[in-house]
Chain A
Amino acid sequence: MYAVEMLGITKRFGNVLANDNVHFCLEQGEIHALLGENGAGKTTLMRILYGLYKADAGEIFIDGKKVEITSPKQAIQAGIGMVTQHFTLVPTLTVAENIILGYHDKQTVSKTEIEAKVKAASEKYGIHVEPGALVRQLSVGERQRVEILKALYRNARILIMDEPTAVLVPQEVEVLFESLLRLVKSGLSVIFISHKLHEVMAVCDRITVLRDGHVTGTVSKAATTQQSLANMMVGRETFGVSRQSKRKTGKVIYTVKNLCACNSQGLPALNDCCFELHAGEILGVAGVSGNGQAELTQVLTGLVKPTKGSVKLDGTDLTNAEPHDITDAGVGRTPEDRHEGSIGTLTVAENLALEDLDKFIRHGMLDQSLIIENARKYIEEYQIKASPTDQLRKLSGGNMQKVILARALSRKPKVVIASQPTRGLDVGATEYVRNRLLAERDRGAGVLLVSEDLDEIIALSDRIAVIYEGCIKGIMPAAEATAEKLGMMMAGAC
């Protein structure tokens, strides 16, 4: 009898098939990895199991009994616990208070009593926490332990861990693995979502690989290798067949040296990141999400100041430059999040004018006709389906992205920083954006393409850099990139 059986699970978001007839079985007392690239459907499947999403089709059995799970509360009652990267803890409360929150049957809360209870649970499950400590004083690894104990305290027998190591330092990863191995010995069953091959091989008993919403296979650890898992995960035989083998690129125009920066939580996210960008090339930055891509583009676009390192464009130092200095120096940028990098309540024409306002001022006033005319020009050139006076937020994602692209490219930049430029776009818009980037390259601009879509990186790049834990692990010509090589580098296996 399986602890969890998910049969024929299908889930659709709009046009995207996130899970397509997925079968997944978790045995009692095993650690079972769900392996796959970003967007392969791992998290969707688990959110269905935890009652956060409702499947369009399919059945779920827990311990052989069919269940309907429509809310996290029901999942908890069915013995399922989930620990995500985004912790649901209250930082100003103590560990014990967090653990009993919403799971306490008395009107009063006695500190000694709840701390004793939590202490007992901590000892029973062998997960060390300090019941009286405030959560905000804990490290990320300690917080994760609190989350795990919180699930176990609610009598979870099935534990879902969504990329638990993404937020941990190596030493903490080891502690986590030891705890998990001990817990499964006492009967817990664990689902371990990951895209890091070596971790999966280190800790899991069986592995189910997902790709584009399908299961590509379930294998036991003993019967597989990192290479074959990488192939199942990425699923490509060869790359770059149709590309011209050798394009001539120009001189180095953009140099990033030893760049370090922190994320919004103040934790180091970029570690000595180095690369050079040539004129007339596309340098793709591949990597699994959360490895510093967001911080890299934030620093390069001037939204976040680096803690160390330098950024130079053609000899001009842009290390601590403000966004408008960066655009003035000749860098065009598309933001990682379209909605954050544009202003939805302003019109299309206003958004198009915003980056280079001085051009549109006559006698201290905005020249409306010039702004509209400018917008018309780009609307036509970029085939944007909108009128200049439409509010930007009313546009589809593709059209919004074209507006942003038009703005970024309007000043013929020497360097283009394109961050996730096609995320969430439909096929037509995606192709358009990609062709635009290729055209920029042919014009002679250096293009930095940061993307979590490996196909996109492979299709467009002249060279490919892999970012892993805030550091560029290696740069190779696209022609030399193979599935194994990229997959292993992205997973930090070498």
Chain B
Amino acid sequence: MDTFIVGLIAATLRVATPLIFGTLGELFCERAGILNLGIEGTMFFGAFTGFAVAASTGSLWLGLLAAILSGILAGLLMSLFAVKLGVNQHVSGLGITLLLTALSLYSFRLIFGESSVNPSIEGFQQLSIFSSSPILGPIFSQYLLTYIAIALIPLVGWVIYRTNFGLQIRAVGENPEATDAAGLNVIRLRTLALAIGGGLMALGGAFLSIAQLGSFTFGIISGRGWVCIALIIFANWQPIKVLWGSLLFGGVSALQLRLQGLGLDMPYEVFLTLPYIVTIIALTLGGRNAQAPAAMLKPYRRE
């Protein structure tokens, strides 16, 4: 049973990693007042770009860098539509998700051909810390990116709550008129937030393709972006709570995988729907969800 729990903890952290990246990315966007439904596509695009660059250059780090850049690009695209043009955020976000997904699939076929065998690379290796310990060893046998993701949580919290930039982001998401009146550039702030957010989302995607799997599959994201949308509500837009939400979801997923592995006959899908159902209940109990940034979904135009 010990190995079961040890394995469960280790797997939980692995499953949680891309969710932490994605949710922190979405947190930047939503804190600045933009619901970025482009997240699903941005993660997919990041997974693809990271893999493609890593595979063609042979450098995983270059792949990671390329993934971040692709995410920033996706954020800027979202900014063009949702911030500059002020298009309805739902439709533009979904449009970007669909476009980036199609673009990734197209480019993947273009580069790697129609082969039925998925190309793979030697991905990042798990670090072995405490490798001699039977308990700590497996738990801390994680990818560097997992540590980075966890370290990012307090970092993002610090940026949001303790820096001038974070203050401005929070202000623009709550009251763009007041932010404008304070002499700050609303468009620029929101664009920056989307770019940073996009970079983080793409990193989450790249974790899957160039660390965990070492390959790019069409189902690589399969709704993880939407999970992040749910987690951010669950986390009440607070960085630190993102960790608990991601771990909870990661734990549930890991648990159902383990139980399946044990050959237990149970509807594991029920577990997987939990975060969504919990989020819907949270939204309902939260009433008019007073915690959400007040200016979210509202394009800002100076009259």
Q: Do chains A and B touch in the complex (CB under 8 A)?
A: yes
Residues of A within 8 A of B (CB): 72-73, 76, 87-93, 97-98, 100-104, 106-111
Asked, given contacts A93-B170, A93-B174, whether A108 binds B179 with beta carbons under 8 Å apart, the answer is no
B contact residues around A98 at 8 Å (CB):
178
Asked, given contacts A92-B294, A102-B168, whether A110 binds B162 with beta carbons under 8 Å apart, the answer is yes
B contact residues around A100 at 8 Å (CB):
167
Contact indicator B162/A91 (Cβ below 8 Å): no
Asked, given contacts A107-B165, A108-B162, A109-B164, whether A101 binds B177 with beta carbons under 8 Å apart, the answer is no
A contact residues around B182 at 8 Å (CB):
88, 101-103
Cα(A98)–Cα(B179), bound, Å: 9
Cα(A199)–Cα(B225), bound, Å: 58
Contact indicator B165/A92 (Cβ below 8 Å): no
B163 sits at the interface (CB 8 A): yes
Asked, given contacts A88-B175, A88-B178, A101-B167, whether A76 binds B162 with beta carbons under 8 Å apart, the answer is no
Cα(A109)–Cα(B170), bound, Å: 13
A-B contact pairs, 24 of them (CB 8 A): A73-B183, A76-B183, A88-B181, A89-B175, A90-B171, A90-B179, A91-B175, A91-B294, A92-B170, A93-B170, A93-B171, A97-B167, A101-B167, A101-B178, A101-B179, A102-B184, A103-B182, A104-B164, A106-B164, A107-B163, A108-B163, A109-B163, A109-B167, A110-B162
B contact residues around A73 at 8 Å (CB):
183
B166 sits at the interface (CB 8 A): yes
- Report the nearest B residue to A97, measured CB to CB: B167
B contact residues around A91 at 8 Å (CB):
174-175, 294
Cα(A93)–Cα(B163), bound, Å: 13
Of B162, B163, B168, B294, which contacts A101 at CB under 8 A? B168
- Report the nearest B residue to A110, measured CB to CB: B162
A contact residues around B168 at 8 Å (CB):
101-102
**Nearest chain B CB to A469 CB, angstrom units:** 27
Contact indicator A108/B164 (Cβ below 8 Å): yes
Cα(A228)–Cα(B174), bound, Å: 46
**Nearest chain B CB to A111 CB, angstrom units:** 8
Cα(A92)–Cα(B161), bound, Å: 12
**Nearest chain A CB to B288 CB, angstrom units:** 13
Contact indicator B166/A109 (Cβ below 8 Å): yes
Of B166, B170, B179, which contacts A102 at CB under 8 A? B179
Cα(A109)–Cα(B294), bound, Å: 22
Cα(A110)–Cα(B158), bound, Å: 11
Contact indicator A72/B163 (Cβ below 8 Å): no
- Report the nearest A residue to B181, measured CB to CB: A88
Residues of B within 8 A of A (CB): 162-168, 170-171, 174-175, 177-179, 181-184, 294
Contact indicator A101/B184 (Cβ below 8 Å): yes
Cα(A424)–Cα(B184), bound, Å: 33
B contact residues around A104 at 8 Å (CB):
164, 167
Contact indicator A89/B178 (Cβ below 8 Å): yes
B contact residues around A103 at 8 Å (CB):
182-183
Cα(A434)–Cα(B249), bound, Å: 66
- Report the nearest A residue to B159, measured CB to CB: A108
Question: A88-B177, A108-B162 provided; 14 other pairs, C-beta below 8 A?
Answer: A72-B181, A91-B174, A91-B175, A91-B294, A92-B170, A92-B294, A100-B167, A102-B183, A103-B183, A104-B164, A109-B162, A109-B163, A109-B166, A110-B162
B contact residues around A93 at 8 Å (CB):
167, 170-171, 174
B contact residues around A87 at 8 Å (CB):
178
Pick from A87, A89, A92, A100 the residue with the most CB of B within 10 Å: A92
Of B163, B166, B178, which contacts A90 at CB under 8 A? B178
- Report the nearest A residue to B291, measured CB to CB: A92
**Nearest chain A CB to B183 CB, angstrom units:** 5
A contact residues around B178 at 8 Å (CB):
87-90, 98, 101
For the complex of A and B, the 4 pairs showing the least CB-CB separation, nearest first, are A102-B182, A88-B178, A88-B181, A90-B175
- Report the nearest A residue to B177, measured CB to CB: A88
- Report the nearest A residue to B295, measured CB to CB: A90
Cα(A93)–Cα(B173), bound, Å: 11
**Nearest chain B CB to A133 CB, angstrom units:** 16
B contact residues around A88 at 8 Å (CB):
175, 177-178, 181-182
B contact residues around A90 at 8 Å (CB):
170-171, 174-175, 178-179
Pick from A73, A76, A102 the residue with the most CB of B within 10 Å: A102
**Nearest chain A CB to B295 CB, angstrom units:** 10
A contact residues around B163 at 8 Å (CB):
107-109
B contact residues around A92 at 8 Å (CB):
170, 174, 294
- Report the nearest A residue to B178, measured CB to CB: A88
**Nearest chain B CB to A3 CB, angstrom units:** 23
**Nearest chain B CB to A480 CB, angstrom units:** 43
Cα(A72)–Cα(B175), bound, Å: 17
- Report the nearest A residue to B172, measured CB to CB: A90
Cα(A448)–Cα(B282), bound, Å: 46
- Report the nearest A residue to B182, measured CB to CB: A102
**Nearest chain A CB to B70 CB, angstrom units:** 28
Pick from A73, A76, A87, A101 the residue with the most CB of B within 10 Å: A101
Pick from B163, B178, B184, B294 the residue with the most CB of A within 10 Å: B178
**Nearest chain B CB to A284 CB, angstrom units:** 32
Pick from B168, B182, B184 the residue with the most CB of A within 10 Å: B182
A contact residues around B167 at 8 Å (CB):
93, 97, 100-101, 104, 109
Cα(A87)–Cα(B174), bound, Å: 13
Cα(A343)–Cα(B294), bound, Å: 26
A contact residues around B165 at 8 Å (CB):
107
A contact residues around B170 at 8 Å (CB):
90, 92-93
Asked, given contacts A93-B167, A107-B164, A108-B162, whether A72 binds B183 with beta carbons under 8 Å apart, the answer is yes
